[in-house]
Structure 1
Amino acid sequence: MSSCLCVSLTTPTLPNRTQISEFPTNPKTLILERCKTIRDLNQIHAHVIKTSLFSNPSVAENLLESSAILLPISMDYALAMFCDIENPDTPLYNILIRGFTVKQSPEQAVLWFKQMREDSVAPDKYSFSCVLKACSRLGALREGEQVHSVVVKLGFESNGFVQNTLIHMYGSCGKVGVARRVFDEMSVREARAWNSMFAGYSKNGDWGEIAKLFRKMLGAGEGFDGVTLISVLIACGRLRDLELGKWIHEYVMEKDLSKNLNLITALIDMFAKCGEVDVARKLFDDMPERDVVAWSAMISGYNQSSRCREALDLFHEMQMSNMEPNEITMVSVLSSCAVLGAFETGKWLHSFINRKKMKLTVALGTALMDFYAKCGSVENSLKVFEKMPVKNVMSWTVLIQGLASNGDGRKALELFSLMLKKKIEPNDVTFIAVLSACSHTGLVDEGRKFFVSMRRDFRIEPRIEHYGCMVDILGRAGFIEEAYQFVKNMPVEPNAIIWRTLLASCRIHKNVEIGEESLKQLVKLEPTHSGDYILLSNTYSSAGRWGDAVRVRNLMKEKGIKKPPGCTLIEVDGAIHEFFAEDTAHPQSTEIYDAIEDMMKRIKSAGYVPNTTEARLDAEEDDKVLSVSHHSEKLAIAFGLIRTSPGTTIRISKNLRVCTDCHTATKMISKVFEREIVVRDRYRFHHFKDGSCSCNDYW
C-alpha cells in the first residue's frame, strides 16, 4: 500500500490502573461499548498492540470504526492506525472513506477511494455508497461519473443500494435527468430510491416533476414515508397545488401522523404558501411543541401572504417563548418590517443579529439591505452591503433598486457599472432595477441604451416588466406619443400594467386623447380596477375638464366600482399606526386634528397654497381646502410631529401615489418644522428636507 496519505502513530501507553484481562471472541461489544472517549480508545489500542491482537481483522476493524466514525476526534488517529495495518481489506477502506465523509472531509474520502483502487483492493457496494455520498457533498460530478463507470465495470449497476446513491449523487450535482434514468432502470424501488429522486428534483427546483412522480408512486401502489410527504408538501407549496396538499393533510390526520413535527411543519408551510394562512395557524397552534423551523414557517407564511403585522406579532411571541430565531426567521421578519416601513423594529433586529454574532450570509445581508432601502435609509443599506463577505447578483440588484427608488438614479447606474467591472453577470431583475433608475431620474437616452443592451450584450430577453419600465421612462419624461407607439409595437401583448403606466403619464402631462385610449384598453383587461378610472378623472381635472372628471367618477358609481381608501402607516415607539383620509378612529384623534390645524396654519404662513384639485370631487367648494388637509399622509405626519422629539426623522408609508398637494405641503412642513421626512409611496421614496424633495418634483 502507498504510504503517501498516511501519518505516523506513536504506540499508546496503557495506564497502570486499567486492566483488560481477556478479549472476547467477538471484540465488537467491548470496543464499541467501552470506547466512549479518546482515552478509552488509547487504553484498548495499547492493550491489543501489546497482546498482538491488532493483527486480528475483527479487532482492527472495530478499533478503526470507533476512531474514524464513533468518536468526535480528528481523523489523524484513525489514519495513523489504518497505516499500521498490514494489507488492509475492503471493510477497512470502507470505514476510512465513510469516516472522512461523516467528518466533513469528503475530498479526502474521494482520494482514499482512488488509493483503494491503486492498491488493487476491490470495492463493494458499501465502498460505492460512501464515495458517492462524498461526491454528492462536494458537488463533484466528474469524480461521481468516474465512480459510476467503475460501478458498471465491476457489475454493480443493478445493485439497488448503489443505484440509490447514484440517484442522490446525480441529483445533488444538478444532473437530475441522469438521476431519473438510473431510477427508471431500477427493477425494484424502495422508498429510499423514490426519496432520493424527490430530493434531486427538489434541489433543482423541479417542483412539477415531484408532484407528477408522487402521483405515479400512488398509482403504482408504492409505499411512502414521512420523508416522501415532506418533499411533496414542499413542492405543493411552490406550485400552490392545494388539492394535493389537502390530500396529504387528510392522509396525515387519518394515519395519526400528527406527532411527526417535521411533517406538521411542512403542512404549515404548504398551507401558508397556498394562501390558507389561517389553516396553517390552526396546525401551528395545535402543535404540542414547536422548534425554530415551525416558528419560521408560520412567520414566513404571514409575510408571504402580506399579513406582515401578524408576522411581527408572532415573532414577539416567539421571543417570549425563549425560542432563538435562526437566519430564515430573521429574513422573514426583516421582510415584514420592510413592507410595513417598521424602521425602529428593523434596526433592533439588526442590533440583535450583531449581538448574537449571526453570520452575515448572502440571504441575511440582502434582506437587511432590502429592509433599509425600503425604509428610505439607503446609507445603511450601503453599509450592510460593504460589510457582507460574499455578495451575489441579488445583493447588487437590491442596492441598485434601493438607490433608484430613493432618488439617486445616477449613483445606481454607477453601481451597475462597478458590478459589470467586477464580472458579476446581471440578470433580468437587475435590468428592471437599472431601467427604474433611468425612469426615476429622467435618463431617457440611457434607458433606451440599456434596453437594447439587455438582449444584445447579455442575451436577456425582455419580459413584460422591462417593456413597462420603458413605457414609464418615455411617458414620465413627456414622450407620450413615443411611449404610445412603443406599446403598439411591442412583440408581446401589453397587459394592464403597461396601459396603466401610460395612463399615469397622461395624467402628469395632461394628454387626454391617449389617456382615453389607455382607459379603453384597460376596461377590456381589468374592467373593475378603480385606479384606472381615477387616473383618467384626474387627467381631465388637470386639463381643466371638470365635467368629464365628474362623469368618469359617476361612471364608477354606476358600475359599483369603489376606490380603495388612501392609507398611511407610521411607526412610533415600535408600534405601527394606520391612518385613512379624514379618519377619526385613532385614540388620539382630537390631538391629531388640533396638530393638523396648527401645522396647516404655519405652512400657509410660509407660502403654501392648497391644491384643491386633489380634494374629493363630491366635496363642496368651501370644504375642499379642509378635504386636502385631512389626507392620510398629513394625519400621519401630524401624529409624528406630536409623538417624536424635535429633529427626529419622520418616516411614513402610503399605499397609493403621493398626491401633488401632499408633496408640496410636505416640502413646506420639512422646512417650517425643521424635520427630515421620508415618504414611501406606491412607486418610490421622497426624502423631504429644508423645503425640497429628493425627487426634484419628478415622480
Structure 2
Amino acid sequence: MFKRNLSSSYSTQIDFKKRFPNKKFFKSNQEDDGVVDRLCKNKRFGEAIDVLCEERHLGEAVQLLGRVKKPPASTYCSLIQVCSQTRALEEGKKVHEHIKTSGFVPGVVIWNRLLGMYAKCGSLVDARNVFDEMPQRDVCSWNIMVNGYAEVGLVEEARKLFDEMPERDSYSWTAMVTGYAKKNQPEDALVLYSLMQKLPNSKANVFTVSSAVAAAASIPCIRSGKEIHGHIVRAGLDSDEVLWSSLMDMYGKCGCVEEARNIFDKIVDKDVVSWTSMIDRYFKSRRWREGFSLFSELVGSCTRPNEYTFAGVLNACADLTSEELGKQVHGYMTRIGFDPSSFASSSLVDMYTKCGNIESAKHVVDGCPKPNLVSWTSLIGGYAQNGEPEKSLKYFDLLLKSGTKPDHITFVNVLSACTHAGLVEKGLEYFHSITEKHGLSHTDDHYTCLVDLLARSGRFEQLTSIISEMPMKPSKFLWASVLGGCSTHGNVDLAEEAAQELFKIEPENPATYVTMANIYAAAGKWEEEVRMRKRMRDIGVTKSPGSSWTEIKRERHVFMAADTSHPMHNQIVECLGELTKKMKEEGYVPATNLVLHDVEDEQKEENLVYHSEKLAVAFAILSTQEGTAIKVFKNLRSCVDCHSAIKFISKITKRKITVRDSTRFHCFENGQCSCRDYW
C-alpha cells in the first residue's frame, strides 16, 4: 500500500517543507523524531499523524540508500496517548500499523497503551487481538481487558478473564464489582466483594466499596449494606464524603431513613446531590413534613438547589395536591432564575395540573422557549382531567405543529381526553393514527383507554371484539374499565365476566367486590349483593375507606364517611341539613338505589348525606367568605349521588366547587359540572 519510488519519496519531502516552512524536519533523525512529540504537545494531533506516516515513506526511501530510521518509543507513546484521549480510533490504527511495519519492537508499556486505546475507543475486538498477540503481559494488561469488557456490560467475558488472571490487584476487583453493579447483577457484585474481603492480599479502595454500596442499595439489602459500612470504617475510608453520600443513599433505599439522616448529618461539606438525595428519601417514605423542612434548610444554606431538587419537591407537592406549597417553590425558583427549559418546568406543569390550576400550568408552558414533550403531555392531560377535552386536543395539535414527536404517554392523555368527553369516533381515529400516522406501536395502556371510552359509551359489543383481537393479554386496568362501564350502564352479565377476570389477577383488590356489590344493589339483586359481601369477608378483603380533604388557610382538613371527629362536626351536619332541604326544593332526588344495604329509604338518604366529600364541601362553605371558590380532593371515585348533590350546592351557594376524585377533576358551577355528567 505504501510502495513508492525514490522520486515520489523526495517529492513528499518537498511537500512537507511547504506545509511546515518554519520547521526543519529533515536535518537529522533526532530532529525528525522530535517533530511528532512537539506537535502532540501543541495538540496538533492530525499533523502529528501525517508526519509519522510520511516519515514512514521517507524511511523506506532512505532505507534503500542504506539508512534506517525508526521513531523512538516516546513518539509512539505520545501518539497513542492522544488517540486514546480523543477516542480517535482510525488514527490509532494508523499508529498501530506503523509500529508493525517500521520494525519497532514495543515493550509491555506500549502494548498496554495500545490495548487501552482500543478499549477506550470501544473496539474490544481490536483490543482482544492485541491482548492475544502480546508476547508478555503484566497485571495492567489483564486489568485493561477485564475493565473494557465490564464497562460495556460483557461481564461474562470479563469474569472469564478475571478468573484466569495470574495475579490481581484492587483495580481488578473494582472493575468486576463495578461491572456487575452496572449490569444490574447486584447479587454477583456482593458475592465477589465478600470473596475479596476474605483474601489476605486484597484491599478494597474507595471505588470498590462505592460499587458494593450501590449494589446493596439496588437489591436493596440492609444486611450487606451494614457489613460494607463496617468494612469502610475498618479500612479507614470513612473520611471520603463521596462514600458517605453512597451510604446515605443505600440506607434510604433500604428504608432506614433515620440511619440515612445520621449519615447526612455527618457530611461536613454537603453538596446539592446529598441534599437532594436526603430530601427525596423523606418524600419516598411519605414523611412529607420532614422532607419539606429539610428543603427549607437547603434554601437557607449556601448550597443552591438544582433542577433535580426542584423536580422532587414539586412532585411531592403534586402528590399531596398542595398548591400553596407548590406556589412557594415556584416563587423561589423564579427569584433565583431557574432555566425555563429544564425538566423542573415539566414538574411545575404537572404540579399545577394535579392541583387543578390549569391556567398556571398553561402559563408555565407559555413561558418555555421550547416546551419539551413532558410539559406538552402534562398540559394535554391536565386539560383532559379538568373537563376541557377540546383544549386538550387543541394542545395536542400545537404539539405536532411544534415539531415535537409524541410518545405513547402523550396518546394515553389524548385518548383520555376523548374518554372524558365521550368522543368515541375521535378516539378511534386517534387510536388508529398511533400506528398508521406516527409509527408507534399500540401499548396495553392505549387499549385500556380505548376500551374505557367504549365502555363508558355503552358500546359493549365493539369493546368485546377489540379485547378478543388484542395482541397482548388484557390487564387488570382494562378489565376494571369494563367493570366501570358496566356499572354505569347496568350490564350485569358482562360485569360478572370482567369481575371473574379481575378475581384471577388480583383477588385481594376490594374495588372489584365493592363495584360488583354496587351493580347488584342497583339491579335490586340483594341476594347476590349479600353473597358478594360475604365472599369479601371470607377472604379477609376490606374496602379502602373513602376520605376527602380541603385546605383552609394552609391547614389541611381531612374527612371520612360519617366522620364525627372534626371540631366543627355539629355545624357541618346542620349546614348539610339546610342544604339538603334547599336542594330538594330545586329538584334534587337522592340516589338511594346505590346504597349497598337493603334498608328503608330514609336510612339510605341519611347514609348518603355523610359521604366524605359532602362533609368537606360543607366545612369549606362554613370556613370561607361567600363567593369564594372551593377545592376538595378525594382518594376514591365520587359516587353518582355526591356528584348530583354538589351540582345543586354550587347553584344554591353561588360557588365554584372543584372536586378531584381518583379519576379526574369535576368543576361545579351554577348547577353544572365540567364533565357534563360523563365520567
TM range (shorter): 0.7 to 0.9
Q: CA deviation at 1:239?
A: 6.0
Q: CA deviation at 1:640?
A: 2.3
Answer yes or no: is the 8 Å Cα contact 1:653–1:679 preserved in 2: yes
Answer yes or no: is the 8 Å Cα contact 1:657–1:683 preserved in 2: yes
Larger radius of gyration: 2
Q: CA deviation at 1:306?
A: 4.7
2:410 aligned residue: 430
SS in 2 for 1:208: coil
Answer yes or no: is the 8 Å Cα contact 2:272–2:306 preserved in 1: yes
Aligned length: 591
2:643 aligned residue: 663
Q: CA deviation at 1:366?
A: 0.6
2:368 aligned residue: 388
Deviations 1:348-387 (A, max 9, x none): 1111100111222431111111111111122221221122
2:453 aligned residue: 473
Matched, 1:208 2:152: no
1:333 aligned residue: 313
Answer yes or no: is the 8 Å Cα contact 2:520–2:529 preserved in 1: yes
Answer yes or no: is the 8 Å Cα contact 2:206–2:243 preserved in 1: yes
Deviations 1:483-525 (A, max 9, x none): 2343344332223222222111111111101111122222222
> In structure 1, how many angstroms separate the alpha carbons of the residues matched to 2:513 and 2:190?
47
1:359 aligned residue: 339
> In structure 2, how many angstroms separate the alpha carbons of the residues matched to 1:166 and 1:179?
13
1:113 aligned residue: 45
Answer yes or no: is the 8 Å Cα contact 2:373–2:404 preserved in 1: yes
Distance 1:213 1:652, change over 3 A: same
SS in 1 for 2:668: strand
Matched, 1:368 2:344: no
Deviations 1:14-71 (A, max 9, x none): xxxxxxxxxxxxxxxxxxxxxxxxxxxxxxxxxxxxxxxxxxxxxxxxxxxxxxxxxx
1:272 aligned residue: 252
> In structure 1, how many angstroms separate the alpha carbons of the residues matched to 2:360 and 2:461?
40
The AA in structure 2 aligned to 1:684 is: R
Q: CA deviation at 1:308?
A: 4.2
Matched, 1:493 2:437: no
The AA in structure 1 aligned to 2:519 is: T
> In structure 1, how many angstroms separate the alpha carbons of the residues matched to 2:362 and 2:479?
35
> In structure 2, how many angstroms separate the alpha carbons of the residues matched to 1:586 and 1:354?
38
1:634 aligned residue: 614
Answer yes or no: is the 8 Å Cα contact 2:190–2:216 preserved in 1: no
2:656 aligned residue: 676
1:539 aligned residue: 519
2:64 aligned residue: none
The AA in structure 2 aligned to 1:383 is: H
Distance 1:189 1:321, change over 3 A: same
Deviations 1:577-604 (A, max 9, x none): 3221122333444444444444444444
**Aligned residues: percent identity?**
33
Distance 1:354 1:551, change over 3 A: same
Q: CA deviation at 1:545?
A: 2.6
Distance 1:214 1:622, change over 3 A: same
The AA in structure 2 aligned to 1:344 is: E
SS in 2 for 1:569: strand
> In structure 2, how many angstroms separate the alpha carbons of the residues matched to 1:640 and 1:176?
63
SS in 2 for 1:399: helix
Answer yes or no: is the 8 Å Cα contact 2:307–2:342 preserved in 1: no
SS in 1 for 2:184: helix
Structure 1 counterpart of 2:549, from 551, 569, 589: 569
Deviations 1:547-604 (A, max 9, x none): 4323322332233221110112323333333221122333444444444444444444
Structure 2 counterpart of 1:296, from 276, 287, 290: 276
> In structure 2, how many angstroms separate the alpha carbons of the residues matched to 1:241 and 1:485?
47
2:562 aligned residue: 582
Distance 1:317 1:581, change over 3 A: farther
Task: Summarize the alignment of residues 584-623 of structure 1 with structure 2, pairs less than 5 Å apart.
Answer: 584-615=564-595, 617=597, 621-623=601-603
> In structure 2, how many angstroms separate the alpha carbons of the residues matched to 1:670 and 1:192?
70
Q: CA deviation at 1:457?
A: 4.1
Q: CA deviation at 1:672?
A: 2.4
Distance 1:525 1:180, change over 3 A: closer
SS in 1 for 2:366: helix
> In structure 2, how many angstroms separate the alpha carbons of the residues matched to 1:368 and 1:198?
39
Matched, 1:514 2:446: no
> In structure 2, how many angstroms separate the alpha carbons of the residues matched to 1:127 and 1:393?
44
Task: Let me know the Cα RMSD of the aligned residues.
Answer: 4.0
Distance 1:146 1:480, change over 3 A: same
* Runs (5+) with no aligned partner, structure 1: 6-86, 98-111, 136-142
1:408 aligned residue: 388
Answer yes or no: is the 8 Å Cα contact 1:207–1:236 preserved in 2: no
Distance 1:532 1:460, change over 3 A: same
Q: CA deviation at 1:145?
A: 3.2
Q: CA deviation at 1:219?
A: 5.4
Matched, 1:377 2:357: yes
Answer yes or no: is the 8 Å Cα contact 1:201–1:207 preserved in 2: yes
SS in 2 for 1:417: helix
Q: CA deviation at 1:474?
A: 1.4
Q: With structure 1 as the length reference, what TM-score do the two structures score?
A: 0.73
Q: With structure 2 as the length reference, what TM-score do the two structures score?
A: 0.75
> In structure 1, how many angstroms separate the alpha carbons of the residues matched to 2:398 and 2:443?
24
**Higher alpha-carbon deviation: 374-383 or 290-299:** 290-299
Answer yes or no: is the 8 Å Cα contact 1:132–1:147 preserved in 2: no
**Higher alpha-carbon deviation: 245-254 or 602-611:** 245-254
SS in 1 for 2:548: strand
> In structure 2, how many angstroms separate the alpha carbons of the residues matched to 1:165 and 1:584?
74
1:51 aligned residue: none
